[in-house]
Amino acid sequence: MTLWKELKAYAKDDAGMGTVEIILIIVVLVGLVLIFKKQITEIINDLFDSIVTKSADVAR
């Protein structure tokens, strides 16, 4: 195989890149959670309050 063909084959081979990509995605998600922790907590608390209120209305 010529050098050019080997380089093309190497460029097309993406084995092993999946792990790095997954780690980068996880790092970005953790960073976003840390940045928006207060807003996320408020949204979740409001959601649970709404669920409790609505379920109490249904139970009556």
| pLDDT of residue 8 exceeding 90 | no
**Under a CB-based contact definition with an 8 Å cutoff, are residues 55 and 48 in contact?**
no
Separation between Cα atoms, residue 42 and residue 7, nearest integer Å: 52
* 21 vs 33: which has the higher pLDDT: 33
Q: What pLDDT, on the 0 to 100 scale, is given for residue 36?
A: 96
| pTM of structure | 0.54
Q: What pLDDT, on the 0 to 100 scale, is given for residue 28?
A: 97
The average pLDDT across 8-18 equals 71
Under DSSP, is residue 14 helix (H, G, I), strand (E, B) or coil?
Answer: coil
| 3-7, 16-20, 29-33, 50-54: least confidently modelled range | 16-20
The CA distances from residue 19 to 4, 5, 15, 16, in Å, are 27, 26, 9, 6
